[in-house]
Structure 1
Amino acid sequence: MRLMQAFLIALSMYSKIPVPRAEWNEKNMKYAMCFFPVVGVVTGGCVYLAGFFLLRFTSCGSVFLGAALTLVPILISGGIHLDGFMDTTDALSSYGDREKKLSILKDPHTGAFAILGIGCYLLWSVAVYSEVKIEMLPSLSCMFVLSRALSGFSVVTFPAAKDSGLLRTFQDKAQKKNVRIVMLLWAAAALLLLIWLDGKTGGMAALCAGGTFLYYGWMSKKKFGGITGDLAGYFLSLCEVCMATGIVLAGGGI
């Protein structure tokens, strides 16, 4: 019962999937992060189905395909991770000190650099997904699990930049050691499946994910003194678009 509550908390927090109401208490939140990659399973499945349908049963153009595959993950997540991407882009572009950057993350207003950043992100996503071939869809589906496993691992491993906020709440209430092991198992499963499906594209996706994760760890510590929920969302968004780019390039889509 407690694991079911943790499962519902993860889905209600990180997706727009309708689920029964869960009790947000310390016991139920201990293992909520363990189910974060499940949202990736759902997202990957929907991206696969949408791509398969459009490529196999319609004569849609590449721009339509790219726009559709870009929108599917956003609709499922409700844009929660892109919100973090925008806030972090704004903060990084300020070139202020640590406290200034953290204050920008809390600012409800949207800055010019956030708009420019999200515009470039979406434009690049459409461009990459417009080159997707049907044989690339299984690999693309796996990357949504890997990105969330790595993001979840960072939440229970990296230091928090602030003593408050939703990420700090999840950190404080999570059973960190067990959650860390589960995240590693999710990541290993996604990586093995990626490489089993196609060694070339899987290897490229792994390199892109690893490089993005290393950058995320370095950047968060140097620029912010730790991670926040916005930074975790920034990493997840950046990781997915980098992996998609790697898969398409390795698969000969461009």
Structure 2
Amino acid sequence: MKNSVTGFFLAWQFFSSVPVNKQLHMNKKSVTWMYASLPIIGLIMGSTLGTGIYLIWSFSNLSNILLAILLVVGMIVLTGGLHLDGWTDMSDAFFSYGDKEKRLAILDDPRTGAFGVISVVCLLLLKVGFIFETLEKGQMEVIAYIAVIPFIARIGMLLYFLTMPTSKKTGLAAYFKGEVITKMLWLILTIFTAIFIILVCYFKFLNLLIVFIVMIVAILLYRKWTTKHFGGMSGDLLGALGEGLEVLLWLVVLFCI
């Protein structure tokens, strides 16, 4: 129990901008729970933003385009832009058109290049556009998507993390990959997935099953792509996946409702 609580707060420290002013002990179990808490963190963030959008939607006349922008900016604020940084670094590295070693070196470079800036602008514009078009449909179920999409995207991040070797033997990704208890994390992930599917079927929110299936397919394709161009997983590639998945899943939602 203690390790699960510690892991939950570690997840806030590592994967959000929410301050946790407490010294937390890290061991294999707490690190495992840190990663296991990632989908829950996403659900809390999404639910918070969904509630805010619902209140604004109910008591103001703000346009849907402004609501979409507020939603995207709100998620950036809550995550501290951590995953966007990964997307930027990944874009700079990929569009360098160098070999794997050069791309990995660019991933480690803290500087941001032109391709990273262009790519992140395109990503945010697409996300705002997809959310805006979904809000335009005027269905209250959109609030549920706002809450659940970050959860599903982080389930995908865990799947990628568990099934991919790291591109290097050093760095945070390699360290945490060696620290997590794989069987325990798989068990927790399976439980989360089972609960999600049961709730979706119970409430007959079957569009979310389509979203979930698309996420699985996207993970399979991303695994092949990162293996080919980077030789494995890194922290930046994991963060980039989270951002890319959210945009893709909003596109799927747009066609499902």
TM-score (norm 1): 0.91
Contact 1:212 1:235 in 2 (8 A): no
How big is each residue's C-alpha offset from its partner over 1:141-167, in whole Å with a ceiling of 9 and x where there is no partner? 111111112212322321111111111
Match runs of 1:1-254 below 5 Å: 1-19=2-20, 20-26=22-28, 28-131=30-133, 132=135, 133=138, 134-194=140-200, 197=203, 199=205, 201-251=207-257
Aligned equivalents of 2:188, 2:112: Cα separation in 1: 35
How big is each residue's C-alpha offset from its partner over 1:203-241, in whole Å with a ceiling of 9 and x where there is no partner? 441243123212211111111111001111111111111
Aligned equivalents of 1:195, 1:243: Cα separation in 2: 19
Quick one: which amino acid aligns to residue 64 of structure 1? L
Aligned equivalents of 2:216, 2:252: Cα separation in 1: 12
Listed as ranges, the gaps of 5+ residues in structure 1 are none
Quick one: which amino acid aligns to residue 34 of structure 1? A
How big is each residue's C-alpha offset from its partner over 1:109-137, in whole Å with a ceiling of 9 and x where there is no partner? 10111000000011111111222233221
Q: How big is the shift at 1:108?
A: 1.0
Aligned equivalents of 1:79, 1:197: Cα separation in 2: 33
Q: 1:204 to 1:215 in 2, by over 3 A?
A: same
Quick one: which amino acid aligns to residue 249 of structure 1? F
Q: 1:240 to 1:172 in 2, by over 3 A?
A: same
**Greater CA drift, 47-56 or 20-29:** 20-29
Aligned equivalents of 1:44, 1:197: Cα separation in 2: 19
Q: 1:95 to 1:204 in 2, by over 3 A?
A: same
Q: How big is the shift at 1:200?
A: 5.4
Aligned equivalents of 1:68, 1:224: Cα separation in 2: 34
Listed as ranges, the gaps of 5+ residues in structure 2 are none
Q: 1:139 to 1:229 in 2, by over 3 A?
A: same
Contact 1:147 1:236 in 2 (8 A): yes
Percent identity between the aligned chains?
A: 26
Contact 1:29 1:174 in 2 (8 A): yes
Q: 1:81 to 1:195 in 2, by over 3 A?
A: farther
Quick one: which amino acid aligns to residue 235 of structure 1? L
Question: What RMSD over aligned residues (CA atoms) do the two structures have, in Å?
Answer: 1.8
**Greater CA drift, 241-250 or 126-135:** 126-135
The size of the alignment, in residue pairs, is 251
